[in-house]
Amino acid sequence: MVELWRGGRCESVHAGHAVVCDPQGTAVAAWGDPEAVIYPRSSCKMVQALPLVESGAGAGLTAEQLALACASHQGAAAHVGRVAAWLADLGLGEADLRCGAHEPADRAERDRLIRAGEGPCQLHNNCSGKHAGFLTLARHLRAEPDYVDPGHPVQLAVRAAFEAVTGACSPGYGIDGCSAPNFATTLRGLARAMAAFAAAGSGDARGRAMRRLTEAMMAHPDLVAGEGRACTVLMRAAAGRAAVKTGAEGVFVAILPGQRLGVAVKIADGAARAAEAAIAALLVRLKVLEEGDPAVRRYLGAPILNWRGIATGEVRLAPGFG
């Protein structure tokens, strides 16, 4: 699907799969194997947030909070502060999260922690907004606090929603980096789920929930990821025409409301650079972005610079893709 060229030679190749689906699950276009079974990882956070909104538990949440529920954020002050305030509104705190702590990707926040002699906490976890959503749903369901257990009512509701929008029973789950179960599906199923979000109307609770989550992501791309991240850069450039979301191990999805289409990409070797190039190419193919848009060029075709600023190569699409 994607190649890296240097000195007139192809240095690296990234194989993978991609599917563009309509809401019925029909593949409008496909590359590789659309029936390949994958873990969506963080690309499906809007599906994991669906029971939060559909149940009414998130009725009072703001668009910013819903964007954070779908986020893989940088752990910047803007992310950490908002999640902390959300938990405080619930009468909860950082210790109630079950996502674990890791160093923030945001440099300013990382440097602040170093200067203050502090370590990162669970609020810095890129999934802390999703987990605040899980806690909100658990409170609504009057369920026990260990919400990441696969048999917990929160995760049972997530699985039911996931299987409904992908159109098939999940063959199983793996435990994600944030300790929540991540349900497997085919690439076509994941694209179908994104198309369901793209085509959602206001006729029922699920449709309204899907629209609310999609609109929140598009309205707050900075909260979904962060400055310099592909999700934020591409959504800003799309200007309301697409919601996009990355996942670990080379997964990327897109929701295209204007076309009622969903897109799913999986790079076989898990390379993020290839997933970013592939989703940028598909957004161009589907006329969401222009080929010359700086946001597209950032991930596809722009020169790779070495430490002296010399152009040494470029990322290209492989023949037959895009």
pLDDT, one tens digit per residue, over 209-225 is 999 999 999 999 999 99
pTM confidence score: 0.97
Cβ atoms of 295 and 278 closer than 8 Å = no
Predicted confidence (pLDDT) at residue 68 exceeds the cutoff of 80: yes
Is the pLDDT confidence value at 95 over 80?
yes
The answer to whether residue 98 scores a pLDDT higher than 90 is yes
Average pLDDT of 215-236?
A: 98
What is the pLDDT at residue 106? Answer: 97
Which residue type is seen at 305?
L
Tokens standing for residue 107: 């440099």
- φ and ψ at residue 149, rounded to 5 degrees: -60, 130
Q: How far apart are CA 122 and CA 116, in angstroms?
A: 17
**Residue that is written with structure tokens 């934020």 in the block:** 232
Position 82 scores a pLDDT of 98
What's the CATH fold of domain 2-317?
A: Beta-lactamase (3.40.710)
Average pLDDT over residues 76-81: 98
Looking at the predicted structure, is the pLDDT value of residue 170 above 80? yes
Q: Give yes or no for a contact between 237 and 296, defined as CB atoms under 8 angstroms apart.
A: yes
State the DSSP string of 72-106.
Answer: -----HHHHHHHHHHHHHTT--GGG--S-----S-
The confidence score (pLDDT) of residue 322 equals 74
Residue 193: is its pLDDT beyond 90?
Answer: yes
Whose tokens are 């190749």? That residue is 13
Q: pLDDT digit string (tens) for 33-55? A: 999 999 999 999 999 999 999 99
pLDDT at 203: 84
Query: b or e along 26-41 (b: 16 or more beta carbons within 10 Å of the residue's beta carbon)?
Result: eeeebbbebeeebbbb
pLDDT in tens, 282-313: 999 999 999 999 999 999 988 899 999 999 99
pLDDT value of residue 302: 84
In the predicted model, what is the mean pLDDT of residues 175-192?
A: 98
What pLDDT, on the 0 to 100 scale, is given for residue 270?
A: 98
Residues 170-182 have a mean pLDDT of 98
Extract long-range pairs of 80-85: CB within 8 Å, 24+ residues apart.
Answer: 80/104, 80/109, 80/123, 80/124, 80/128, 82/129, 82/223, 83/123, 83/128, 83/129, 83/132, 84/123
The answer to whether 159 and 182 are in contact (CB under 8 A) is: no
Burial 64-100 (b: 16+ CB within 10 A, else e): bbbbbbbbbbbbbebbbebbbebbeeeebebebbbbb
pLDDT above 90 covers a percentage of the chain that reads: 97
**Which tokens sit at 260?**
């009622």
Average pLDDT, the chain: 97
Looking at the chain, the number of H-run helices and the number of E-run strands are 13, 13
